[in-house]
Structures are given as C-alpha cells and as structure tokens.
Structure 1
Amino acid sequence: LSLAKRTGSDGIFIRMIAANSSAAIEGSLRVGDRLLSLDGESVTDLTPTAILERLRAIQGAVHITVSRDPQ
C-alpha cells in the first residue's frame, strides 16, 4: 500500500496497492480512496508515513474507513 497527499486536496489518498498484498486480496480499497480512519481512530491529520507506521503495528484485522469519489 502506497499513500500520498494530493496537491490541492486535504487528506491522504491511496496511490498504489501492491499485487498479492492483503489490501489487493481483500479487494475493497481502490487507488484514489481517501483514508479517514483506522479502527475508528481518525487519520485525517496524519502524514502518509505515520499512517503506514500505524498499519504496520496493527496485529490481525483492521477496519479502514475511506471516502471515494463517486466517478
């Protein structure tokens, strides 16, 4: 999973999902999704690096809340 800030946008967005990763296998995340929370805790004010560190520290399943452009 690769995350990035978008110029002119607030928040952190999914830039890339690696093939055969947990996110790719599960299938609900999409490139371009904006991350809102991890296990109910807001990540809207965190950097991409801080979010990835939190994801790596989680043992087992994680609930990720995103928003998606309806296009």
Structure 2
Amino acid sequence: MAGELIHMVTLDKTGKKSFGICIVRGEVKDSPNTKTTGIFIKGIVPDSPAHLCGRLKVGDRILSLNGKDVRNSTEQAVIDLIKEADFKIELEIQTFDK
C-alpha cells in the first residue's frame, strides 16, 4: 500500500541564483480509482538549495508555499510566488512512497 508523508521544508537561496526546483502541474494515480492533481517537483538542480537540503525529491507534491495553499494553483502562479519570495521559501511537501 502506498503511503504518504507530509513535511515542511525551508529553502534558503542566499548566495545562489535559484532555489533549484523545477515544477509542473500534473497528476498522480493514488490507486486504480483515484488521482491527485497538483503542483509537483519535476526536477532538482544539482548543488542547489533544494538538492543540498536532501529532503525533496522528484515527484513530490507541493501543498503550500510560504503559507499559501497551491494545490489548485497554476504552474505559472506558483512560479510567480517563488519569484516574489526573497531568499527563503517554506514548502509543505507531500511525498508519495512507491
């Protein structure tokens, strides 16, 4: 049975060009009959804050960013939120165990 884990991750990009996450709007099949849609991490840049924190992986779903629920947001809206953030973002992450 697939489990899910929700945890908070704070990324600090002080001195770096970006937080190092690439996102995509998509969906995952939770079970044969249910799908979860949302914003997912599709890539992590090597040596970026996202990579160095060691707590994010491709396929993780972003539930909120800096306290704002992004479950139903567009990819562009989340990119804008990331751009508006200064040097820190706090992510609520849902990880799916396969």
| TM bucket normalised to smaller | 0.7 to 0.9
| Structure 2, unpaired ranges of 5+ | 1-20, 28-34
Aligned structure 1 segments of 4 or more residues deviating by more than 6 angstroms: none
| Structure 1, unpaired ranges of 5+ | none
Q: Which structure: greater strand fraction?
A: 2
Count the aligned residue pairs: 71
Q: State which structure, 1 or 2, has the greater radius of gyration over its C-alpha atoms.
A: 2
The one-letter code of the counterpart of 1:44 is R
Q: Which structure: greater helix fraction?
A: 1
The one-letter code of the counterpart of 2:42 is R
Deviations 1:18-37 (A, max 9, x none): 11222112221110001100
- In the alignment, does 2:89 pair up with 1:69? no
RMSD: 1.5
Deviations 1:17-56 (A, max 9, x none): 1112221122211100011001211011111121111112
TM-score (structure 1 length as normaliser): 0.84
Identity %: 28
